[in-house]
Amino acid sequence: MQEEGRSEHAGFNPRLVRVESPSDAKRLLREVGTDKGGVAIMSRKMQHAVVAVDNVQARAAHIVKQVMLSKGGDCATPRDVFYKDTERVQVMLMGSVAQFRKAIKNLSVQPFELAMLSGELKDLFNVAFPGSDMPREIAADGHRLEIGGRTLVMGVLNVTPDSFSDGGRYHLMEKARERALEIASQGADIVDIGGESARPGAAPVSVDEETARTAPLIESLAREIGVPISIDTCKAEVAGRALDAGASMVNDISGLRFDAEMIPLLASRDVPVVIMHMQGTPRDMQEKPTYKDVVGEIIEFLRERADEAIRSGVDGDKIFVDPGIGFGKTVEHNLEIVRRLDEFQGLGFPLLLGTSRKSFIGAVLDRPAGERVLGTAATVAFAIARGVDMVRVHDVREMIDVVRMADAVAARGRVGWTAS
């Protein structure tokens, strides 16, 4: 018996298909047997987008709506946009990539700042819907990080007295050295070394102390370890000394805001950098984090910080961005960021995510930091499904398995596997 209102099956087998990338679209078209020209034209019609745009003059919003409608798409505007000519509003555009491309062209000759919007939309579509999805490489001081292939793993090494409890400086160094080599041997692509805890309320550390914890360690590891080392610091002097000692990358959780010398240092050393978002400072970030749209605001912050760095001479091809899980965010904010992680792809920079053992996992599972490996694994797998490029983790051995498995399902990297 068919359910009421359901049709008999006559063999058409209608079904939804998933188109995530240009190569997905092209593969499907080839399967249908479309000719070459058709593949080029129709692959753009098979990918769709919804784009939020802020600060559009209300009078311009009418034009955007007309343009999108004329191409077969649409544009949602606030109900009272007709009475607010000069105010600025948020609009939501929707359509296929082909419709957007035509609309973008049309918008380039329209008034009320729409030519500028056209340029920004063009940039967005160039990175979000590239003609090809070939991996690219980022050079890091003699090492190469391949972006867009398999997911990269950054292993965390915190060199703070409380991370390796007992003993003095020498003991701390030796333990840290052993752990760094272990992280690399377990398959991490990069080791992130930090000498200052970012935990809310953690005691600030002087430049000298932070340098003493990190630079000699990096120097003793750099030639031996075989993978690049990144220095996790907000201080330009600490970063500079670490780079002198052999580090190849800088990871700045302040988004290059806390030390005015950081951007000039990066511009002169030409090394890859992670720009991370934090609302406030480690001291006050968890006091009452508030956002209207957490993902939209973080994207705006990261775009602004990256623009500033590039204007000051930092190579845009060496920038990673990171939404900064746990840095001025509630549990709900952190979950929403991971859920909407694919939205960060429109920035056009490789995306790093650090969920490892963090308190939002503890809050959901009600588990202490030492028991969050499986919770971390769930977030890592989910982030890979949402297109993350690199994950920052403490439990490297375990997460390498998670990453390899998730990559295999996502058909990323195609590392090859054997049955046993």
Active site residues: 358, 392
Smallest separation, CB 384 to ligand HH2 (Å): 16
At residue 179, φ and ψ (nearest 5 deg) are -65, -40
Residue 380 is a binding residue for ligand HH2 (CB under 6 A): no
What is the DSSP code (8-state) at residue 232?
E
Beta strands in 142-238 (DSSP E): 143-147, 152-158, 190-194, 229-232
Start-to-end CA distance of the chain, whole Å, equals 44
Give the nearest distance from C-beta 312 to ligand HH2 in angstroms.
20
E strands, 340-413, in order: 352-353, 390-393
156 touching ligand HH2, by CB under 6 A: yes
Residue 171 to residue 336: CA distance in whole angstroms = 41
Instruction: Write each residue from 73 to 112 as x if it is in contact with ligand HH2 (CB under 6 A), else as -, in one continuous string.
Output: ----------------------------------------
276 binds ligand HH2 (CB under 6 A): yes
Minimum distance from CB of 69 to ligand HH2 (Å)? 42
Number of residues that bind ligand HH2 (CB under 6 A): 16
Strands, E assignment, 299-384:
319-322, 352-353
Q: How far is the CB of 232 from ligand HH2 (least distance, A)?
A: 5
**Residue 253 in the binding site for ligand HH2 (CB under 6 A):** yes
Is there a contact between 286 and 200 (Cβ–Cβ < 8 Å)? Answer: yes
Q: Does 158 bind ligand HH2 (CB under 6 A)?
A: yes
Verify binding: residue 232, ligand HH2, rule CB under 6 A.
Answer: yes
Q: How far apart (Å, rounded) are the C-alpha atoms in residues 99 and 73?
A: 6
Task: Name the residue with the smallest CB distance to ligand HH2.
Answer: 354
Q: Quick one: which of 352, 361, 390, 402 contacts ligand HH2 (CB under 6 A)?
A: 352
Grouping H, G, I as helix, E, B as strand and the rest as coil, residue 147 is: strand
393 contacts ligand HH2 (rule: CB under 6 A): no
Strand order through the sheet with 74-76: 48-57, 88-96, 74-76
Which residue ranges make up the site for ligand HH2 (CB under 6 A)? Answer: 156, 158, 197-199, 232, 251, 253, 274, 276, 322, 324-325, 352, 354, 392
